[in-house]
Amino acid sequence: MQRLINFFIIISVCAVFSIKAEKAEAIKIAKEPRKLYERDHYLYELLDKALKAAGATYDYEHVTVHPHQQRTLMALSSGKVDLHWSMTSPDREQIAIAIREPLFKGYIGKRAIMVKKEHFAQFAELKSIEQLKAFTAVQGHDWPDTKVLAFHSLPVKPLSNYQAMFKLLASGRVDYFPRSFIEVNAELEENPDKFVLLPNVYLEYPTAFYFFVNKAKPHLADELKRGLNKLKNSGEFDALFSRYFEKDLARLSMYHSDKAIRLKNPYYNAD
């Protein structure tokens, strides 16, 4: 009799776990059609840690999206994807739920100035916005950064293809490519002997890089926010950031605050 009871207990436990497994919700994460960099791996790991810290269980489904940032954000509003990460703007925060925790701790707004190696000498005296207006930058056509530069009357050549931006810089058809402290070292390594960074000056403007969640998934947004707060309070957020970026940021230690050309960003609200 006891064996029979034990048998039914085992069957009942298995059934409970089976039901839980069947009910694990899948979230569709936007994935751009390009190679993954360390910054991407960091965001995936941070996302997973945050949801686990909140006690949430999800299956992840990656959905390849158009490389244009704005189209990806629109895919959030249509339900094609549930989650993406991006630099913020007022328009983007209308399209989806912004989890207002800066994922890159402000470094996304610190921009090293990448130039063609042969053109380095042209920038020797660069120290001000007015001097920078003599040169043309390349940026993504739908990036918030493009609007920031244009707001200051800095000439910008907008492109839709990420790799084509480096080709345009290498061809000399544009003069410089501002890249965040988070991204620039990996991009230099991919383009050895082609580009260098100006050591005497960099751009800086207030902005943030957030997780964005489909408005139809407020529970996901709540769990993600709660999990990020737990990671911050435990120190795990800082530890993860340091593990991925401490060495890269150390390579940019020449950029003291007195070397910054500071730009206003009317497309960012920190409150």
pLDDT in tens, 165-217: 999 999 999 999 999 999 999 999 999 899 999 999 999 999 999 999 999 99
Mean pLDDT in the chain?
A: 90
> Which residue range is the domain that position 120 belongs to?
107-207
Q: Mark whether 202 and 220 lie in a shared domain.
A: no
Rounded CA separation 179/199 (Å): 13
Taking a C-beta distance cutoff of 8 angstroms, is the pair 223, 109 a contact?
A: no
Question: Can you tell me the mean pLDDT for 26-32?
Answer: 90
CA 221 to centroid of chain Cα atoms: 17
In a domain, 270, yes or no: no
Which residue(s) pair with 113 in the sheet? 178
pLDDT digits (tens, 9 = 90+) for 53-65: 999 999 999 998 8
> Considering the domain boundaries, does residue 265 fall inside one?
no
CA–CA separation, 150 and 47 (whole Å): 33
- Looking at the structure, do residues 93 and 130 belong to the same domain, yes or no? no
Residue 13 lies in a domain: yes
Q: How confident is the model at residue 23 (pLDDT cuts 50, 70, 90)?
A: low
Same domain (yes/no): 97, 37: yes
Within-domain flag for 167: yes
Q: Are residues 123 and 187 in the same domain?
A: yes
Q: Are residues 243 and 118 in the same domain?
A: no
* pLDDT in the model for residue 223: 98
Counting the structural domains of the chain, the total is: 2
Nearest CA-CA partner of 69 in 150, 137, 136, 146: 146
Same domain as 228, residue 248: yes
**DSSP character at residue 191:** S
Predicted pLDDT of residue 22 = 55
| CB contact at 8 A, 259 and 201 | yes
**H or E stretch covering 31:** strand 25-31
The CATH number of residue 27's host domain is 3.40.190.10
| CA atoms of 210 and 271, how far apart (whole Å) | 14
Q: Are 6 and 86 found together in one domain? A: yes
Q: Clarify whether residues 123 and 177 are in a common domain.
A: yes
Q: Do 85 and 99 belong to one domain? A: yes
Contact predicate 108/182, CB 8 Å: yes
Q: Assign 67 a pLDDT band (cuts: 50, 70, 90).
A: low
Give a yes or no: residue 263 inside a domain. no
pLDDT digits (tens, 9 = 90+) for 83-138: 999 999 998 999 999 999 999 999 999 999 999 999 999 999 999 999 999 999 99
pTM summary value: 0.87
Q: Residue 215 has what DSSP assignment?
A: T
Supply the DSSP string of 40-78, one letter for each residue: HHHHHHHHHHHHHHTT--EEEEEEE--S-HHHHHHHHHH
Helix (H) or strand (E) segment spanning residue 211: strand 209-213
The per-residue pLDDT for 267 is: 94
Given a contact cutoff of 8 angstroms between Cβ atoms, the answer to whether 263 and 152 are in contact is yes
- The position carrying tokens 């983007």 is 92
Query: Average of pLDDT values for 31-59?
Result: 93
Do 193 and 113 lie in a common domain?
Answer: yes
Q: Which of 33-47, 61-75, 254-268 has the lowest mean pLDDT?
A: 61-75
DSSP string, 95-138: HSEEE-S-TTTTGGGEEEEEEEGGGGGGGTT--SHHHHTTS-EE
Domain co-membership, 213 together with 121 = no
